[in-house]
Amino acid sequence: MQPVSRPTTWHPEPVDVALTTVDDAVRVLAGNRIAALTGAGISTDSGIPDYRGPGSPPRNPMTYQQFIGDEDFRRHYWARNHVGWRHMHRTEPNAGHHALADLEERGLLSGTITQNVDLLHQEAGSRNVIDLHGRYDRVICLSCSLVVPRAALAERLDALNPGFAESVGAVGDIEIAPDADAVISATAHFRPAACDSCGGVLKPEIVYFGENVPRDRVDAAYSMVDDADALLVAGSSLTVMSGLRFVKRAARDGKPVVIVNRGATRGDVYAMVKVDDGTSTVLPELAKRLPAPAATPR
């Protein structure tokens, strides 16, 4: 197998950002209509590891090309996904997700663009969410484009592989990754399911490494940034262009960018404020301290 490029192992150079405190973030964001951009770091406190975060083991996520081109890869992927999906289904939003939902409810936040596929923003009550990289609870047929719920596929996979998920769960040899992968060893005998309608290859409705985000989704995300006065990045190291481009857009238009993330990010060079801390502590503090939008001019 040819080695593939590994954007996940890119480590940003630290950049000195002058403003680094929650006070600074409150001051810069106050009175502005905010758009949020979130990544794996906001979901780590919900038990979903961020494989790009500091201290995370190096990971080599499957690429779109591998999934399309190799039946064995697909089998392995679906076996892991069959186990990991159950875990994802049980996760709950944390204080960071709730803080963004609260800001939206109060009219301070116009919407959230997320690189996560875990749906925890929606679980927390956020309404205007763009799932940039797709969502774990849907599956699409690569031939006829039929979209089916992941739960319906789970029943078919259970029928095709009786006892599989339970046996793996009992061994406990499972590691959950942000893309609903669970790392397990014995997957050679797993039987994936084909499209019910046309027999085509099924793929989670998730954007893989090496795959483009659908254009209409990118445009909707740009619009969300364009309609806002400021961009709040939470829990993303912005190592892939799919998220970084929105930071560049906001910076280009002179809008303040506030980044809350543990560790350096590729967007730090564009940030007016960089709070180097966890989203579960910083976002609730922001939500508590940001004043409600003024109803009348001062």
**Cβ of residue 85: shortest distance to Zn ion, in angstroms?**
20
**Cβ of residue 142: shortest distance to Zn ion, in angstroms?**
8
Query: For residues 100 and 129, is the Cβ–Cβ distance under 8 A?
Result: no
Q: Is residue 141 near Zn ion by the rule CB under 5 A?
A: yes
Whole-angstrom distance, CA of residue 202 vs CA of residue 195: 6
50 is in an annotated binding site: yes
Residue closest to 278 by CA, chosen among 230, 232, 231, 236: 236
Q: Which of 168, 195, 221, 272 binds Zn ion (CB under 5 A)?
A: 195
Q: Is 97 a catalytic residue?
A: no
219 is in an annotated binding site: no
Cβ closer to Zn ion: 49 or 200?
200
* Encoded tokens for 26: 């409150």
262 is in an annotated binding site: yes
**Cβ of residue 154: shortest distance to Zn ion, in angstroms?**
18
Cβ closer to Zn ion: 203 or 274?
203
**Cβ of residue 298: shortest distance to Zn ion, in angstroms?**
58
- Give the range of 62-70, 137-145, 154-162, 174-182 binding Zn ion by CB under 5 A: 137-145
Q: Is residue 198 near Zn ion by the rule CB under 5 A?
A: yes
126 is in an annotated binding site: no
**Cβ of residue 147: shortest distance to Zn ion, in angstroms?**
10
> 187: which residues sit within 8 A by CB, 6+ positions away?
75, 76, 79, 80
Q: Is residue 197 near Zn ion by the rule CB under 5 A?
A: yes
> Binding to Zn ion (CB under 5 A): which residues in 153-182?
none
Whole-angstrom distance, CA of residue 48 vs CA of residue 88: 8
Query: For residues 182 and 83, is the Cβ–Cβ distance under 8 A?
Result: yes
Cβ closer to Zn ion: 129 or 157?
157
39 is in an annotated binding site: yes
Q: Is residue 200 near Zn ion by the rule CB under 5 A?
A: yes
Q: Give me the sign of the Cα torsion angle 201, 207, 212, 218.
A: positive
Catalytic residue among 11, 76, 133, 189: 133
Q: Which of 143, 160, 211, 220 binds Zn ion (CB under 5 A)?
A: 143
271: left (phi over 0), alpha (psi -120 to 50) or beta: beta
254 is in an annotated binding site: no
Q: Is residue 144 near Zn ion by the rule CB under 5 A?
A: yes
Return binding residues for Zn(2+): 141, 144, 195, 198
Task: List residues binding Zn ion (CB under 5 A).
Answer: 141, 143-144, 146, 195, 197-198, 200
Return binding residues for NAD(+): 39-59, 115-118, 235-237, 261-263, 279
The residues carrying an active-site annotation are 133
